[in-house]
Amino acid sequence: MLDFAALSSPTPRTAVTRGPAIARAEQGRNGMLIGVPKEVKDHEFRVAVTPSGVQEYVDRGHTVLVQRQAGAGSGFVDDDYEAAGAALIDTAAEVFARAEMIVKVKEPVPAEFDLLQPGQILFTYLHLAADKPLTLALMRNHVQAVAYETVQLPNGTLPLLTPMSEVAGRMSVQVGAHYLEKENGGSGTLLGGIPGVPDAEVAIVGGGVVGTNAAEIALGMGANVVILDKSLERLRELDITLNGRVHTVASNTRSVAEMVRRADLVIGAVLLPGARAPKVVSEAMVASMRSGSVVVDVAIDQGGCIATAHPTTHSAPTYEQYGVIHYCVTNMPGAVPRTSTIGLSNATLPYGLDLADRGLEGAINANPALAKGVNVYDGRLTQKGVAEALSLEYTPLAVAMEARPVVRA
């Protein structure tokens, strides 16, 4: 167990130029204080760092503060974290007050806004394009916010979004099949049909990671699957990847309308990195679907790509509109936390270690992919797609970094 008398005290909220890093410098510590609070979003059982990840941080000279029971929902008990070298903390307030970097899974909820400290690094999923109150809170509190979902490699891939997109894509078909059952409000259609009875029609709007994984599961369950995407090159890749078993259709208003009208299950899987998702499926298209059909909008955490979709929770996951069951849970992977936690930690840990080893400025200067993850820096919004979606002022990261005042201990 660590001696907390040696750790930093809470940073005064009025001292914007004094962050946890200053406390560290004053105390002569070299390692960073990493905080892992328990997730509080509805039915969110994931945790940001596994015990193995804690050991990696500790082995590099960092201190990890883990809130008690933070990993219990994913099958990681407090003893596992303590054995890995973590200090167990009773409350989220203490974790936020002491840590220089907060590592989470989901975006802070309103109850956590005032726990955020000036100068503190926040490393988590944010999806700010659909959340103006959170964006303003991060700017107001001068949090250095790095979003998993906008970290982007030179080839355009999103390495920290990919594992949860894989989970959500696979889950979307599983969930859709469940709600197609009559007792759950659906039409009573079996995805794979049986001999003499047609397979269910599944329309997947978007051919990225979510769409590809959804297609694999839907095909495995015997459904008749169509993927719509604007990119012909991507459709060609999918045709090869899925061995010609999926129908590929170029996405336009008419083709989307036709495929949605015919579908028993529509999966919304459209992504614009860092920006609000476009409404590809209109209200009229949903109204044209058969009663008892199901839509699953996986893009809902970015505002959704289905016009009739609005966010739901695991406690109340569905609602009906035009006779169509809507499932729009914003943290779908939270339902399978063991798989999701391990997959997420595998992806995020190297970036978290880089932030801890180098500090924010050093890490983003050395890693352009990580620099793209910075959404808010020193009170300025540095993600253009978010600024456009929320009608807020955009400041390029380089400009924000140059404008940051010199901090003196």
> pLDDT at residue 182 above 50?
yes
pLDDT band at 45 (very low <50, low <70, confident <90, very high): very high
Cα separation, 276 vs 293, in Å, equals 26
Query: How many C-beta neighbours within 10 Å does residue 96 have?
Result: 25
With tokens 């009559």, the residue in question is: 182
User: What is the reported pLDDT for 405?
Assistant: 61
User: What is the reported pLDDT for 18?
Assistant: 37
pLDDT band at 22 (very low <50, low <70, confident <90, very high): very low
What mean pLDDT is reported for the chain? 91
Q: In what order do the strands lie in the sheet with 265-268?
A: 247-250, 224-229, 201-205, 265-268, 294-297, 324-327, 318-321
Catalytic annotation, pick one of 131, 229, 264, 301: 301
Cα separation, 266 vs 81, in Å, equals 41
pLDDT band at 16 (very low <50, low <70, confident <90, very high): very low
Of the candidates 363, 161, 190, the one whose C-alpha atom is nearest the C-alpha of residue 264 is 190
Phi, psi of 324 (to 5 degrees): -105, 130
> pLDDT at residue 309 above 60?
yes
pLDDT band at 3 (very low <50, low <70, confident <90, very high): very low
Catalytic annotation, pick one of 127, 131, 297, 378: 127
Of the candidates 83, 70, 63, the one whose C-alpha atom is nearest the C-alpha of residue 356 is 63
Verify whether residue 301 is a known catalytic residue. yes
Q: Which residues contact 68 (CB under 8 A, 6 or more apart)?
A: 38, 78, 88, 89, 90
- Domains plus CATH for the chain? 4-142+336-403 (3.40.50.720), 164-335 (3.40.50.720)
User: What is the reported pLDDT for 21?
Assistant: 44
Cα separation, 352 vs 327, in Å, equals 32
User: What is the reported pLDDT for 9?
Assistant: 34
User: What is the reported pLDDT for 275?
Assistant: 83
> pLDDT at residue 304 above 70?
yes
- Give per-residue pLDDT as tens, 53-107: 999 999 999 999 999 999 999 999 999 999 999 999 999 999 999 999 999 999 9
Q: Which residues contact 141 (CB under 8 A, 6 or more apart)?
A: 13, 113, 114, 116, 117, 118
> pLDDT at residue 306 above 80?
yes
Kindly report which listed range (8-17, 181-190, 282-291, 340-349) carries the lowest average pLDDT score: 8-17
User: What is the reported pLDDT for 400?
Assistant: 94
DSSP classification of residue 274: T
Kindly report which listed range (16-30, 176-190, 316-330) carries the lowest average pLDDT score: 16-30
> pLDDT at residue 406 above 60?
no
Alpha helices in 124-265 (DSSP H): 132-140, 162-180, 209-220, 232-241, 253-262
User: What is the reported pLDDT for 274?
Assistant: 76
DSSP bridge partners of 233: none
pLDDT band at 272 (very low <50, low <70, confident <90, very high): confident
User: What is the reported pLDDT for 1?
Assistant: 34
Of the candidates 104, 212, 234, the one whose C-alpha atom is nearest the C-alpha of residue 162 is 212
Question: With pLDDT > 70 as the criterion, what percentage of the chain qualifies?
Answer: 91
User: What is the reported pLDDT for 29?
Assistant: 52
